[in-house]
Structure 1
Amino acid sequence: MKLNKTFLAVAAAFPLFSGAVVADDVASAAQLKERVFGSLFTEYYRPDVDKTSSSAWNYMDNDWGYGVEVGYYLTEQWALRAEFAKLNLQSKLDGSDSDGNRIGFDAMFHLTRYPSVYLVGGLMRMDAVQNTTAANIGIGYKHFFNQNLAVYAEGNRYQGIDETYADAGFKLGLTYLFGTPAATPTPAPAPAPIVAPVVKAAPTDADADGVMDSADKCANTPANHKVDATGCTIYQEKMASVGDIDIEILFPFDSAVVTESQRSDVENLGAFMQRFPESTVMIEGHASNIGNAAYNMRLSERRANAVAEMLKQNFNIAESRISAVGYGVTRPRVEGSTRAAHKANQRIEAKVTAKIKEPVLR
């Protein structure tokens, strides 16, 4: 059993052709469903090579034919059709007639993705030289110009059932769809929802700040706080002392150098001032009441300056934010000349001032 090469070439080209013209909006499935169509076509017919070289088939040659089709679209994709074709064939040997007729019934399936492309299959009865039955398989493309008129091209293989042959046919035709597409019913509009009347509640002011709850963004503000239009506390900023910070630094005798083991308190102060860039500090140096008072005054100043210099160098604190002063023995923390008193009085204190926010009171 042989497969006609020309048929294969044309059949393989159909998907490429359909991909190039797939924007055929008129031939959508919804426009074809439940419509009758009729077609006229011309066909180039190619008998199997065995027929062209066999006396049993009168050396049948390639030639033209024509025919008519009637069909019906069952669904969006499926259709049935019947055809009658007249084949004007001649003998390749002596030119004598090898005419015949073909009657057949086919089912058509339109591809979902490309609705203009369809597959076809069915049974045919032919009486050209011999009476035979053949199975038909094929592929086609249909292009619509409007809701009723279209042209189509189709390639078919006719596979003999009671005789061994594989003919091919190539159709070009005109199709007319009768009637008009069924109108799509317009859905009834959904009933309007029933909206219950809205009962407005009386405005309330739960925290009694003078702003109604519907506009109050800060619930439960203290009764003595002044609030803005949104019910939130109004704050004012001011510079205020946040307390004294003791820096426990023990200096070697007659030294103002801060040793590595004594730097943790200074580092904590530096980190605080970095977090609060508007804070300022007064570094106060104090001494124990041992030795010459004037000497202790100068020593306390050197020690205060040593701490101030650490803040500037190690933490990049601006000089304008730092003050340093030495008080010597003039401000003892503990009175007396005991060892405990001397230890308590030999100290450095840091007085820090920072910007704070305070609520405005009514």
Structure 2
Amino acid sequence: MMKTTLVTAIALSIGNIALADDHSGQWYINPMVGHQKPDNERKLNEDVVYGVGLEYQYNESWGTELKYLQGSMDSEGAPGNDADMKHLLLEGMYYLNALGNKKFSPYLALGLGHQEYDYDLSDKNDETTATFGPGFRYAFSDRWSTKIDYRLVHALDHSENDGLLTVGLSYALGKAAAKPMAAKATVADADKDGVIDSQDQCPNSPMGVAVGSNGCELDSDRDGVVNSMDQCPNTAAGAKVDAKGCAEKLTRTETIALKVSFASSSAQLTNNFMPEVEKAAAFMRKYASVTAVIEGHTDSSGGAAFNQRLSQSRAESVRDVLISQFGIAANRLSAVGYGEDKPVADNASVEGRKTNRRVVAVFKAQVTE
């Protein structure tokens, strides 16, 4: 049962090696010669062994090696009861100096195996083994290295302990043999912002600031001032700002004549005048603190009371369009009708009366620039 379980474990491990990503490690073939000292209970003299190993390094720290060893030991007890030894084992290796490009690479190994001692004059001794011990690899070049290992070989079935010392010549297989335990390739990042220099469009970004994929510091509100310098980080999109990232504010009262005119006795705003209304909306988006008074006016036709109501309706018509179609906040707009009280042209002529039927937007803000 123990032997069947071991063979299954070895087969699964070999399968995992074959499926490993060969871009993440390196294959080695390791012919070796060594010296094995059997446990005293075996009544055998220590002698030379030889064999071969197939090794795969998964990454800088971990590797696996499948080994086969054999040798012949002379009898120490009964004359002529010599034995042939065969040993198949699978070991995992942990490298101790994964950091840095070092020719000398020590490791620890732990494994399981199946060992046979076939005696000339007595029964064959089959046993499951556990192995443990240190080793190291010394690289001569990218492909050639030597390995020296010592293992304690413990027979799980009979509690016997053999000592095994091997020396091997190791050859790195494959088209891209790497230096053993070479350090990961590093790329230059002079300002340490996480973006390599060849892709860094802002190579002198301050330490610790958040940057984008181009290496430039972020400007979250897109006002042209980077986050570390922005004292007003939530400026409205498109607002004109100063060097501190704060919205620039007017120090005077601006008046924009929208040149919106109406048919006689009508407050209906036609599409022909939408570009004029849009001018007011653009101004208010640019200066986030500005409020506006929409003034409505009429000519002198009709009664004064009627003209007052009509001018109010005209002002409110423009205000409603600024809110509903251009997204201006209602609390920034007010509407006032002046009726016929503030003409800008002579009401005696048709052209003059047309000019007087108008809406004017007055923008006000008292702030420090």
- Band the TM-score falls in, shorter-chain normalisation: 0.3 to 0.5
Larger of the two Rg values belongs to structure: 1
What is the TM-score normalised by the length of structure 2? Answer: 0.43
